[in-house]
Amino acid sequence: MERKSNLKVSFLKSVEEDIQKLWEEENMGQANSNSTGDVKGSTKKFFTCFPYPYMNGRLHLGHTFSLSKCEFMIRFKKMQGYEALFPFGFHCTGMPIKVCADKLSREIQVYGNPPIFPNEDGNMDEGGDRNDRQADVEEEVIIKDKSKGKKSKTAAKSTGHVYQWDIMQSLGIPDEKIPLFAEPAQWLEFFPPLAVKDLKRMGIYVDWRRSFITTDANPYYDSFVRWQFKTLKERGKIKFGKRYTIFSIVDQQPCMDHDRASGEGVGPQEYTLVKLQLQEPYPEPLKSKVKKDDKIFLVCATLRPETMWGQTNCWVHPDILYVAMRNNLNEIFIGTQRCFRNMGFQDILDSGAPAVATIRGTNLIGTALTAPLSHKTVYVLPMLTIKATKGTGIVTSVPSDSPDDYAALTDLKKKKALREKYGVTDEMVLPYEPIPIIRIPDLGDLAAVTVCEEMKIQSQNDTEKLREAKEKIYLRGFYEGVMIVEGKYSGWKVQDCKKPIQQDMIEAGEAILYYEPEKMIMSRSGDECVVALCDQWYLDYGDQEWKSEARASLNQIKLYHDEVKKNFEATLDWIREHACSRLYGLGSRLPWDETWLIESLSDSTIYMAYYTIKHVIQGEGLYEHGGSVPLEHLTNEVWDYIFFLDSKYPSDSQIDKEILERARREFQFWYPVDLRTSGKDLVQNHLTYFIYNHIAIWPTEPEKWPKGIRANGHLLLNSEKMSKSTGNFMTLNDAMDTFGADAMRLCLADSGDSIEDANFLVAVADSAILRLYTFLEWIKDITGDTNSLRQAAAPEFEFQDSYFVNLMNSLIAQSEIHYEKMEFKEALRTSFFEMQSARDTYRELVGPNNMLSSLVLLFIETQALILAPVCPHISEYIWRRILKKEDGVMSHGWPKVAEVDKIVLSSGDYVVQTVHHFRVRLSTFGKGRKKGGKPIPVTKPTEGTIWVAKTYPQWQFIILDRLMKEWKELHVIDNKKMAIALAQIPELKKHQKKVMPFVQKAKERIDLVGPDLALKTTVDFDEVDVLQKNLAYFKSSLDLNTLVIRLVEEADDIVKEDCCPGAPLISFAESPSSPTSC
């Protein structure tokens, strides 16, 4: 729904522009080391950063959500008195920019400038239809979610892809400027300043002097990265050799996470490629295409070589077209074209060699095979669930431990018509029974048979049940299974013998290693990636000593969520080598082999150190290269001196010594990184590498290792994934145009703090506009007419004043805890929503014209201060423009509070809760009364009596005491057990009918206020005194002429039963002579 008026948001935007000018003049965010002599310094500091975003598009709300965690925290820490640093850089390393620039260049070469593209009929689409096509471009691939690979409407047309020209138009770039982006340098010059502009408009607390771009386009940063890699190599962390890696055939180089259009985080999957040799006679067309002495194998990719003793047959899909290829050992392998595409890059066969033959699956069915470790002869049988996109398209069958195999084999045995359809004879199927090979506790020696019978699986078409059965068997088989086959592995645990069995088969020539991607991976160049055995430089993250140090470091890092630590631990379990070099893209060159570029994840691990000294070495501008240190003087010895505390001053350095000392002090003061925030998807790569590389660069200085990492979920927009293709997408600039900065920031804080996906709701952002605008208007009104407020000094505080002060102090303390824990949704609740509610409660308790002037001013100041991390523009505007304070809201600091008086706080809460309870009772007054079957008209009551109990009746006291003992022991109250226990107490005999209802009421109150309050037998304050001090409020709130307070001892038995300490009862009367308890 469109907003009826933009008046309020326009006003808030004008406030933001005013405050941003003020901040610009005051150099907000700039932070310098407070050290002068000792490089370690003494001032407390806080250094946070966010993974520098990739500069091939504008920042979107997903970026903004993650970086907002840094932003809220740095402002909070600054207010706590820390020297606070939040630098922000821009990443340009890698393939995406180069790919997009090259794609645009090709389009201009092929289709002209401006280009005329083919339309859906295959004809050339003249410029007149450009706007129509532009309207169809809904997928902005250069800033889309990496996990998406959806095509836009343009992509769905005849050409099958989105034109880069269209994408550039969708970014708002004029046609005459688009050709400039055929050069990668244009991207580096265009997008970073836009990001700076958007972030400044957001009000981010950043030291912009430390900003930079990556790649060798920034020779200073390039020098830093090359020094880093030289150091890593000298320390044995970088190695060279053949390694299995994800590979782009189009790009002819490894395809790392940041080079992928889809499949981020997916790695190579190792298989054992089992060789099942064909027995003669061979099927056609193989028979006529092979030589007499050729060995021909069906190859099956399995994850479970230890089960090969249980083979009873081999499965193929009747309709798949298989290929026969000659491998490097002159053997003939039969599999899918896709698997041979992988093998061609793994030194198994020559991918460019011609196929020996192609053969349909139906022609292979019935072929006799020799299966390693099992029957001398098994047969090829049909299975219709095989996919050509996984493994080799050929599956070996182990029905003892595979539910799918058992169900398919049983189908063939039961269904003669099925056998006849595919030409399968009885002797190929009927003699073969599941072979016991692994014993699993509770599942026996034939786990698949047991589970299929238990789950009543009828056929191979029971796909859901089979999936469940597989999950039930496979993990238990691996971790609990014991081998029962005869031979050397008898009695071995499955998890212990898997690798040795694989090695035995390889050495016997019965199998080879084979890899393919765990899932489909598409490179940014548009090809499906393979696994290749490449010569490459790699970081040896599998090194056990390095890995152990990473685990030790992880245990010292504040992670905020247990699940994040589990994800890190899982990553450290599986992580091995990481290819750190490539041949195509943008970046820095390996210093010892300049044919290679350093890939984008590898140059992004310790760059936080460069933030600390960039403005000293390189200069203060984003693109400045003319700093106080000439580039050629930045030797490895200079970098060592800056970053290593035990390095000696480079005596032959031509750099001014004071400049080097300043850079050294800056680094030593700010390091380590206290907090790094990021999306949770980077745990498995970037954030883990971040830990590893800090250990490698500073092995003897663990105090330089990361101190805190906060990972968050992805950001949904209105409960749905953000996607340009659906129109559910918003850039940072769009959000600020729509809501202004502070309303957007408030909504980001409200979106969620857990590791699960957060949710940015437009309705919340719109309501934030109204809340902030209304709050500012109220402040203007109230500060413009303070004479309407009560004037008094602190000693003259009334009860309501004291309650308001303590309520504010309590909320300040709660907010500080939430900010410290990075629970920003909760911090927003206590620092704004509940603070506003506290003001409203105070105003209601005393009346709008009886609020104490000094307390109203204290509330406004406090609200401005504790909301400042989230809504800094509004807070600064209140502080500087309305309250006319000379210092800034950040420099003033977090409000100092006196210790909360819990008695005053609980007594005030008692008043608020009691009046609510009384109002509910008043609303039901007289209802249900009848005379002669007809309702009696209700006259509004004018009198009231509040009944107060100082103690519980003895029988209730006994029950509460028993309940408290039970709770302390078990933290739960069992009704059945409690009823038996209470029935044994003599004092409760005459109250038996009331006992369990009272227990139930007590349990409900535990759920509401907790056991300490619910089971307490007295209150900490004088109820009569508190009620008396607020009697005028009660009378006014209930609209009564008279209201008296009396002790429950004077009441009738019904009131006595229902009234207890902390829960007074009220009775109403229409006239003094006709009381009615309600």
d(CA 636, CA 1048): 85
Q: Which residue has the higher pLDDT, 169 or 150?
A: 169
Q: What is the pLDDT of residue 152?
A: 33
List, for residues 558-578, the tens digit of each pLDDT value: 999 999 999 999 889 888 888
Q: Where are the beta strands (DSSP E) in 917-997?
A: 930-931, 934-935, 943-948
265 touches 684 (CB < 8 A): yes
Instruction: Say what the pTM is.
Output: 0.79
- Rounded to whole angstroms, the Cα distance separating 1057 from 10 reads 59
- The two structure tokens encoding residue 1037: 């709130």
Using DSSP, state whether 434 is helix, strand or coil.
coil
Alpha-carbon torsion angle 527, 533, 538, 543, nearest 10? 130
Banded pLDDT at 330 (limits 50, 70, 90)? very high
Beta bridge partners of 124: 118
Count of other CB atoms within 10 angstroms of residue 1027: 20
Q: Are 292 and 489 in contact (CB under 8 A)?
A: no
Q: Is the pLDDT of residue 627 over 80?
A: no
Lowest mean pLDDT among 359-363, 601-605, 927-931, 1022-1026: 927-931
pLDDT at 137: 30
Q: What is the pLDDT of residue 154?
A: 29
pLDDT confidence band for 17 (50 / 70 / 90): very high
Number of residues written out for the chain = 1078
% of the chain at pLDDT higher than 90: 68
pLDDT score of 527 more than 60: yes
What sign results for the dihedral spanned by CA atoms 379, 382, 383, 386?
Answer: positive
Crossing angle of helices 7-25 and 184-202, rounded to 10°: 110
Question: What are the pLDDT digits (tens) for 281-304?
Answer: 999 889 889 888 899 999 999 999
Residue 503: strand, helix, or coil: helix
Q: Residue 49: which residues within 8 A CB-CB, separation 6 or more? A: 70, 86, 87, 88, 608, 611, 673, 675, 676
Sign of CA dihedral 484, 490, 495, 497: negative
Residue 364 and residue 536 in contact, taking contact as beta carbons nearer than 8 Å: no
Is a pLDDT exceeding 50 seen at residue 156?
Answer: no
CB-hemisphere CA count at 13 Å for 595?
4
Question: Averaged over 504-530, what is the pLDDT?
Answer: 93
What is the residue-wise DSSP string for 427-450?
Answer: GGTTT------EEBTTTBS-HHHH
- Using one digit for the tens of pLDDT, what is the confidence trace for 636-681? 999 999 999 999 999 889 999 999 999 999 999 999 999 999 999 8
Mean pLDDT (whole number) for 543-562: 96
**324: three-class secondary structure by DSSP:** strand
Does 1075 score more than 50 pLDDT?
no
pLDDT for residue 410 is more than 60: yes
**pLDDT digit string, tens, across residues 174-218:** 999 999 999 999 999 999 999 999 999 999 999 999 999 999 999
Helices (H), ranges, 877-953? 889-892, 902-923
Weakest mean pLDDT among 21-35, 383-397, 474-488, 1058-1072: 1058-1072
The Cα 1076–Cα 925 span in angstroms is 8
Q: According to the model, what pLDDT value does residue 795 have?
A: 61
pLDDT digits (tens, 9 = 90+) for 574-590: 888 888 988 888 999 99
Section 715-736 average pLDDT: 90
Instruction: Return the minimum-mean-pLDDT range out of 240-244, 306-310, 355-359, 669-673.
Output: 240-244
What pLDDT was estimated at residue 134?
Answer: 31
Amino acid making up residue 737: D
- Average pLDDT of the residues in 618-632: 88
Q: Kindly report, residue by residue over 240-252, the tens digit of the pLDDT.
A: 988 888 999 998 8
> Where is average pLDDT lowest: 124-133, 359-368, 990-999?
124-133
The mean predicted confidence, pLDDT, of the chain is 89
| Comparison of pLDDT for 186 and 118, the residue scoring more | 186
Residue 127 has pLDDT above 60, yes or no: no
Listed range (49-53, 211-215, 325-329, 578-582) with the worst mean pLDDT: 578-582
- pLDDT value at 160 more than 70: no
Q: Side chain identity at 442, as an amino acid letter?
A: D
| Lowest pLDDT segment from 30-39, 683-692, 760-769, 974-983 | 30-39
Query: Looking at the predicted structure, is the pLDDT value of residue 65 above 60?
Result: yes
Residue 98 · residue 216 · CB < 8 Å: no
pLDDT-based confidence at 889, cuts 50/70/90? very high
Tokens 């934030």 -> residue? 768
pLDDT at residue number 139: 29
- Residue 341 burial (CB < 10 Å; 0-12/13-18/19+)? middle
| Spatial distance between the Cα atoms of 526 and 164, rounded to a whole number of angstroms | 13
135-153 per-position pLDDT tens digit: 333 222 222 333 333 333 2
Q: What was the pLDDT predicted at 251?
A: 87
**Which of the given ranges, 140-149, 233-242, 1014-1023, has the highest pLDDT on average?**
233-242
| Higher-scoring residue by pLDDT: 767, 499 | 767
Give 12's pLDDT tier (boundaries 50, 70, 90): very high
Share of the chain above pLDDT 70, in %: 93
For the cut 50, the answer to whether the pLDDT of residue 157 exceeds it is no
Q: What is the DSSP letter of 94?
A: B
Burial (CB count within 10 angstroms: exposed 0-12, middle 13-18, buried 19+), residue 771 = middle
Q: Quick check: helix, strand or coil at residue 85? A: strand
Name the residue with higher pLDDT: 53 or 626.
53
